[in-house]
């Protein structure tokens, strides 16, 4: 009895299911609908040209073997690409013949499929129109290479792990590779350096750098345009996916759910994920636990503030790249007085060069001192005891006058102690002055408050995170 198209395809699926990961089977084979079988030509319906291309790229061998097992050596496969979002949906059959045994590539008649077809294909800004293979602009900045990344004690582990990932994406234990640290310490630079290294060593790999905010925007657009499946399929084709600032996913449940499925698909298929954040995975809030647990599967490496030697090396590297000469004593002066992060360090150097050029002055210690004094003054002019109290009260959503009151409510006392702690560390005021301005307390109370806050920072993870967030708000 002659087999029907449904039976043939069901038999093929039984074999395919045992030979591909379950997530891949659900994503790429369950949506396929067998249409007809005529003269050993099986026609299957797929939802988009993306779908067709991915099957051709990744699963043509298993399709060929299973279909030949069912229909013999003369078996052929035909794809019927149905544009589901088009009100005038059309079936566009593209016949694909399996190659002879001595051929290694698939010959097809897909040349007429327009990748830039409007309305039916995912509108993703990273796609460069092509036909045979998916081409993606990796969105990498060539300046962010390993050659321009200065290594020091503050980043040695992260850089070494990143270099290993760049040499063998998806093949190390560092998957995902999670890079975290404060703003301006080089997270984006390191993440992109890995992508650049992969593209140089393995140009056939599809690499993509995208910020979490842009990923979120594209996802929302895909929902609005009813192209969510194409959005999902596009990201599941990436070999090395770099997501910058994943903390931006906090509170966005649908985006997290979609990224969860993309993460699973890529990880299970040996693709590399590189993530950056301003906090370690254990300190992230507003993200689903199942995502956080996956962030811990690989390696989480932190970037710390650079020490003096590293800051000098960073400045010398930039000076060398810019082809200029500056006295080493001036470089050391800048590195000694700008300690926060790499971005401010390079910004100080640029400001010094601008001052020298515009005013036609020689770059000296005196000019550097004048420029640094202005930068420090501009950075910290708002930090006062009153400003600290205001920021702390806004953060904990309590009235400003409550912190000045005599109340012993736990949340008020804690806010008052934190205000005293920051007043001591961020201002030059004496303990007596701080106490007088915050609730009319004496210096012993301020000292006790600072010890209490320090103890809680060491023992309470949630409290430590709150203090860290407040410090960033105060230094903006």
As a whole number, mean pLDDT of residues 68-85 equals: 76
Task: Decide: 220 and 251 in contact? Cβ < 8 Å.
Answer: no
pLDDT 10s digits, 132-169: 345 678 889 888 999 888 888 888 899 999 999 999 99
Task: Decide: 234 and 163 in contact? Cβ < 8 Å.
Answer: no
pLDDT 10s digits, 200-219: 998 889 999 999 989 988 89
Which range has the worst mean pLDDT, 104-113, 132-141, 166-175, 258-267? 104-113
What secondary structure letter does DSSP report for 129? P
As a whole number, mean pLDDT of residues 6-20 equals: 88
Handedness of CA 118, 122, 123, 125 (dihedral sign): negative
Q: What is the pLDDT of residue 380?
A: 44
Handedness of CA 458, 461, 467, 472 (dihedral sign): positive
Q: Label residue 63 exposed, middle or buried (CB < 10 Å: 0-12, 13-18, 19+).
A: buried
What is the C-alpha to C-alpha distance for residues 120 and 123, in angstroms, rounded to an integer? 9
What is the C-alpha to C-alpha distance for residues 234 and 224, in angstroms, rounded to an integer? 17
Q: Label residue 373 exposed, middle or buried (CB < 10 Å: 0-12, 13-18, 19+).
A: exposed
Instruction: Return the beta strands (E) in 154-259 as ranges.
Output: 177-180, 207-211, 240-244
pLDDT band at 1 (very low <50, low <70, confident <90, very high): low
pLDDT at 437 over 50: yes
| Non-local CB neighbours of 381 within 8 Å, separated by 6+ positions | none
pLDDT band at 115 (very low <50, low <70, confident <90, very high): very low
Instruction: Return the beta strands (E) in 103-206 as ranges.
Output: 107-108, 127-128, 135-136, 177-180
Pick from 342, 307, 294, 321: nearest CA to 188: 342
Residue 457, H or E segment: helix 443-459
pLDDT at 14 over 70: yes
As a whole number, mean pLDDT of residues 368-385 equals: 64
Torsion of CA 399, 400, 404, 406, to 10 degrees: 0
Q: Which residues pair with 81 in a beta bridge?
A: 46, 92
* Tokens 């045994």, located at residue: 101
Task: Decide: 183 and 235 in contact? Cβ < 8 Å.
Answer: no
Stated pTM of the model: 0.53
Q: What is the pLDDT of residue 114?
A: 28
Q: What is the pLDDT of residue 27?
A: 79
All structural domains of the chain, each given as residue ranges with its CATH number in brackets, are 5-115 (3.30.300.180), 146-302 (3.40.50.300), 308-380 (1.10.8.60), 385-474 (1.10.1750.10)
Which range has the worst mean pLDDT, 170-174, 302-306, 465-469? 302-306
pLDDT at 442 over 90: no
- Would you put residue 286 in left (φ > 0), alpha (ψ -120 to 50) or beta? left
For Cα atoms 7, 52, 204, give the angle at the middle one, nearest 5 degrees.
130
Q: What is the pLDDT of residue 374?
A: 66
């Amino acid at each position: 009895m002659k087999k029907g198209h449904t039976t043939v395809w069901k038999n093929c699926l039984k074999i395919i299911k045992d030979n591909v990961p379950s997530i891949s089977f659900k994503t790429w084979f369950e949506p396929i609908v067998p249409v007809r079988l005529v003269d050993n030509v099986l026609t299957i319906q797929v939802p988009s040209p993306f779908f067709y291309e991915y099957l051709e790229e990744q699963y043509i061998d298993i399709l060929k073997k299973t279909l030949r097992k069912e229909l013999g050596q003369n078996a052929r496969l035909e794809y019927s690409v149905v544009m589901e979002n088009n009100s005038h949906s059309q079936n566009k059959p593209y016949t694909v013949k399996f190659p002879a045994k001595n051929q290694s590539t698939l010959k097809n008649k897909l040349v007429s499929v327009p990748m830039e077809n409007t309305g039916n294909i995912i509108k993703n800004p990273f796609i460069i129109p092509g036909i045979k293979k998916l081409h993606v602009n990796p969105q990498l900045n060539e300046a962010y290479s390993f050659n321009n990344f200065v290594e020091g004690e503050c980043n040695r582990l992260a850089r070494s792990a990143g270099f290993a990932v760049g040499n063998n994406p998806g093949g190390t234990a560092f998957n995902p590779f999670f890079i975290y640290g404060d703003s301006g310490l080089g997270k984006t630079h390191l993440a992109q350096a890995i992508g650049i290294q992969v593209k140089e060593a393995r140009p056939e790999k599809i690499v993509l750098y995208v910020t979490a905010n842009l990923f979120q925007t594209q996802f929302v657009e895909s929902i609005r345009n009813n192209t969510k499946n194409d959005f999902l399929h596009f990201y599941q084709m990436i070999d090395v996916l770099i997501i910058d600032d994943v903390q931006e996913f906090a509170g966005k449940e649908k985006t997290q759910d979609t990224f969860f499925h993309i993460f699973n698909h890529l990880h299970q298929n040996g693709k590399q994920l590189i993530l950056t954040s301003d906090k370690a995975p254990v300190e992230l809030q507003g993200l689903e636990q199942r995502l956080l647990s996956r962030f811990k599967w690989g390696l989480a490496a932190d970037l710390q503030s650079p020490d003096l030697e590293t800051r000098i090396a960073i400045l010398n590297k930039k000076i060398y790249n810019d082809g200029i000469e500056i006295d080493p004593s001036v470089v050391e002066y800048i590195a000694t007085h700008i300690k926060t992060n790499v971005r401010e360090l390079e910004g100080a150097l640029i400001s010094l060069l601008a001052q020298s050029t515009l005013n036609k002055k020689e770059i000296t210690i005196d000019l550097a001192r004048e420029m640094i004094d202005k930068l420090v003054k501009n950075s910290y002019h708002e930090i006062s005891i009153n400003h600290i109290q205001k920021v702390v009260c806004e953060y904990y959503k309590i009235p400003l006058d409550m912190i000045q009151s005599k109340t012993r409510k736990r949340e008020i006392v804690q806010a008052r102690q934190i205000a005293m702690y920051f007043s001591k560390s961020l201002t030059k005021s004496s303990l007596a002055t701080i106490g007088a301005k915050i609730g009319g307390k004496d210096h012993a109370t301020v000292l006790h408050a600072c010890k209490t806050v320090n103890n809680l920072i060491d023992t309470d993870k949630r409290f430590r995170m709150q203090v860290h967030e407040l410090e960033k708000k105060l230094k903006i």
